[in-house]
Structure 1
Amino acid sequence: MADDDTPGSFASPACFLHEVDPAYSGLPGPLDLQAWTDVNRWRKAERERLIAARLEVPAETRAGWTEAIAAGVLAEIGDVEGRIVSAYWPFRGEPDLRPFMEEIARRGGRTALPVVVEKGRPLAFHLWQAGEALARGVWNIPIPAEQRPCMPDVVIAPVVGFDPTCYRLGYGGGFFDRTLASLPARPRVIGVGYSAARVPTIYPQMHDIPMDLIVTEAGAVRPQADVSTVRALT
């Protein structure tokens, strides 16, 4: 587990473009621009707080949490034989699921990594497993050297924060939301993060898409009905 903040070494492949306007990202814009400004400001501060907090946790502790998270995700997925599971390359204290990807392959599944094509466009998914060559993509994010496009059955998404309705606070680029909105058939989407990253609400906006569930070291969090319908800061 690394604490290296250098994108060239470790980078989250899904969200690295910080604090963008949804319209710039190709996502549906907010109905109330002032509300979006308030939410965006809050998200930026909360994002910084949560990342700093997880980096303060000893690497050995995070490694133990990650093992519990990987076991929980495997239990949720079930039989993986013949299925494609997309994970991610870890960054800034995120759960390191690379051993999890090796376990998926041992169980007869296939693994993939998301690839940032360019700003404002959905992610692409390419098959990759441990031992295969990597190249550096956008923002020096490691991506499969060989392009083998695929459509995952399961997508694992790291979270900076999450709320009881399973909305995800990411890095601000909107890549996961844009990707999920563009897919012809939605895969099962599982967010992963530490239980301390739970917040009362992320103030979801029109462009936000919830995860099907969140898996933490403390267990699975499933969407709770009528917990947060607030769409803007009050």
Structure 2
Amino acid sequence: MDLAAEKRRLRAEALGRRTAMGDEARAEASRRAAANALSAIGPVDGRTIALFASFRDEIDTAPLADALRRAGARLALPVIVARGQPLRFRLWESHATLAPAGAYRIPEPGPEAPQVTPDVVLVPLAAFDRRGFRIGYGAGFYDRTLQILRQENTVQAIGFALACQEVSAAPAEPHDEPVDMMVTESEIISCARAR
């Protein structure tokens, strides 16, 4: 089996289901997923939580960001340094203006924002399975980043997505870094990290 082709197929199917939800259903699901994520993360006062800026029709992270800020978390967003490199995280203050950057034009804090090391990383994805393996968007940024963070520090990686993005089994390659937990609008799935 060609793993790359299988990943492309599963990614396309999961993203098709996500798009088919429509804006209203996705917004409601995002609010429910935010409540689940807050419960899954636990106490956040003073902790640094890395979110992601929602892109296209991804799960909306704004409801979770608002809830985390109210609970006392420090928020960070990823910054793409270069292709093939791990992500960096910059502090995301509530008043900060985010600017689209890089080839993907994903909003991120400016270079004046301090670089931080997160305690928890919310990971975007195209598809996931219950083992914690995920299919990203193909560039490997989060796999490289999680590998380094796990070597340097204790970090909790949480996949954050819509339930419709689940697949029975995401093909796993040696470089793939599974998440510790998956959170959707329907449930919190604890994943035993498979290595």
Q: TM-score, normalised by structure 2?
A: 0.92
Which aligned runs of 4 or more in structure 1 are off by greater than 4 angstroms?
none
Q: Which residue of 1 aligns with 2:181?
A: 213
* Aligned residues with identical type, % of pairs: 35
Q: Which residue of 1 aligns with 2:134?
A: 168
Q: Deviations over 1:88-110 (max 9, x none)?
A: 11122211112311221222111
Extract unaligned runs of 5+ from structure 2: none
Question: Distance between the aligned counterparts of 1:225 and 1:211, measured in 2?
Answer: 7
Q: Which residue of 2 aligns with 1:190?
A: 158
Q: Deviations over 1:155-198 (max 9, x none)?
A: 10122111120101110111111001122114111101111211
Q: Which residue of 1 aligns with 2:44?
A: 80
Deviation of 1:224 (Å): 5.9
The answer to whether the Cα contact below 8 Å between 1:154 and 1:190 also exists between their aligned partners in 2 is yes
The two structures, once aligned, show a CA RMSD in angstroms of 1.7
Deviation of 1:225 (Å): 8.8
Extract unaligned runs of 5+ from structure 1: 1-34, 230-234
Q: Which residue of 2 aligns with 1:154?
A: 120
Larger gyration radius, structure 1 or structure 2: 1
Paired residue secondary structure (1:136) = strand
Question: Distance between the aligned counterparts of 1:84 and 1:156, measured in 2?
Answer: 11
Q: Which residue of 1 aligns with 2:107?
A: 142
Q: TM-score, normalised by structure 1?
A: 0.77
The answer to whether the Cα contact below 8 Å between 1:51 and 1:92 also exists between their aligned partners in 2 is no
Question: Distance between the aligned counterparts of 1:97 and 1:158, measured in 2?
Answer: 10
Q: How many residues align?
A: 191
